[in-house]
Copies of this chain bind each other. A is one copy, B any other.
Amino acid sequence: MSTLEMARKAKAASILLSDTSLEDRNRALEAMANALQAQGEAIFQANRQDLQEAGDSLGEALRKRLLFDQGKLQDVVAGLHALRKLPDPLGRVTSRRELAEGLHLRRVTCPIGVIGIIFEARPDALVQISSLCLKSGNAVLLKGGREAFHTNRLLAEVIAQATCQAGIPREWLQLLESREEVQGMLSLNDTIDLIVPRGSNAFVRHIMENTTIPVLGHSAGLCHLYLDESADPKMAAAVAVDAKTQGASACNAIETLLVNRKAAPRLLPQVCQALEAAGVELRGDEECRRLWPAMKMATPEDWATEYLSLVLSVKLVEDVKEAIDHINHYGSHHTDAIVTESAANADLFQRRVDSADVFWNASTRFADGFRFGLGAEVGISTSKIHARGPVGLEGLTIYKWLLEGQGDTVAPFAQGQRQYTHREEG
């Protein structure tokens, strides 16, 4: 089947899926959980095949993500039950207005339609993403990392069959298995409504530059931590170490530490010591190196580099305003944090830093759908429209305007015979 055919089938299914009740969708989520439990052994078997074929070419971290075992199964099943309990994101009336006597307008949430999602070789992500789409009434074209080929194929089969038996149109979930199919998606702007690409900076940019379909996601995660004049050194060190090392390859880890110049002599020694003890390589300018000589020399490129590893650039700034300017200039509008005892400076920072997530006295690593309490996420968006930061159920919905009249026409209003009331209702 061509990608176009798959997308068309998904589109047809999406119309029916958009018209299912919460009970229908929750029943399908339950069926999904039960089927995954029942097929556990077969799925582990397929996963062992994937692991074997990948061999030693994968590093330890990638093997861990590729692994789908009893523990991962129990996690995704728990996730499905948690998702089932969340309220319906569809059919919510978010505006209700009488336009004129007898003419009533409602704005009602509905699914986006058909979503193409490309994700890394992590089979549990297939379950999370497809269940978020199902709960939000969207059909989905999924393409997972090729290392998870066998696991993904079986998972998609089990999920499609179980949800179909539970009354959902089977073609709501389509699995793509080749790069050509992903490439094929990019031109289907009549059929696919949104693409969510997860992966490397270069890959996400490639997708964004080669389709007119709206894209939600992030290419870079160049996040900052700013230590303000009044920052507590102990808190500063703890937040910096967590934000850099708790998951150094994650998009929400920091790449640059900005330090208030006046406070630097007081803050830098303790903070740098803690970072180096945690294995972080520091790169600073002359000014920083005078305060912490062990630091390597930073070049201008460092301020624009997402290391994705245990390297951190360090720079002194005059005040919170210079920190804001630096972040808005070099950052990727993902997640940035300030450590300060000054509520006024925190407030200024949170108002003016133009990023999806702006944190005060907290690690940037909290930027995550699960940690935010959204259930799970399909990705993190640095787009300025639709959804920003971790994208959960709500980011997978949109709305339509429903007007109910009694044969009303515009002409009498245009001619002054009828007047608009525009009265908010409920």
Residues of A within 8 A of B (CB): 15, 18-19, 97, 99, 103, 105, 112-113, 193-194, 208-209, 212, 214, 216, 232, 234-235, 238-239, 241-243, 246-247, 324, 328, 339, 346, 348, 350-352, 354-363, 365-367, 371-373, 383-390, 398-411, 413-414, 420, 422
Chain B nearest CB: distance from A206 CB in Å? Answer: 11
A405 neighbours in B (Cβ, 8 Å): 359-362, 366
Contact between chains at B372 and A407 (CB < 8 Å): no
Contact between chains at B238 and A371 (CB < 8 Å): no
Q: Which 10 A-B pairs have the closest CB atoms?
A: A362-B405, A242-B409, A235-B407, A373-B422, A365-B410, A193-B384, A386-B386, A359-B403, A385-B386, A362-B408
A399 neighbours in B (Cβ, 8 Å): 388
User: How many copies of this protein are present in the complex?
Assistant: 2
Contact between chains at B352 and A19 (CB < 8 Å): yes
A246 neighbours in B (Cβ, 8 Å): 409-411, 414
Contact between chains at B239 and A407 (CB < 8 Å): yes
**In the assembly, what is the distance between CA of A209 and CA of B186, in Å?**
12
Contact between chains at B400 and A355 (CB < 8 Å): yes
A99 neighbours in B (Cβ, 8 Å): 366, 371-373
**In the assembly, what is the distance between CA of A82 and CA of B388, in Å?**
30
Contact between chains at A401 and B389 (CB < 8 Å): yes
A194 neighbours in B (Cβ, 8 Å): 384-385
Contact between chains at B389 and A400 (CB < 8 Å): yes
Residue in contact with A385 in the complex, picked from B103, B193, B367, CB distance below 8 Å: B193
Chain B nearest CB: distance from A389 CB in Å? Answer: 5
Chain B nearest CB: distance from A46 CB in Å? Answer: 29
Specify which of A18, A194, A373, A422 lies most central, judged by the most chain B CB atoms within 10 Å of its CB: A373
Q: What 9 additional pairs, Cβ within 8 angstroms, besides A361-B408, A371-B410?
A: A18-B354, A355-B400, A358-B403, A359-B403, A361-B404, A362-B403, A362-B409, A363-B408, A385-B385
**In the assembly, what is the distance between CA of A360 and CA of B402, in Å?**
8
**In the assembly, what is the distance between CA of A242 and CA of B415, in Å?**
13
**In the assembly, what is the distance between CA of A388 and CA of B414, in Å?**
24
A403 neighbours in B (Cβ, 8 Å): 357-360, 362, 366
**In the assembly, what is the distance between CA of A47 and CA of B405, in Å?**
40
Chain B nearest CB: distance from A98 CB in Å? Answer: 9
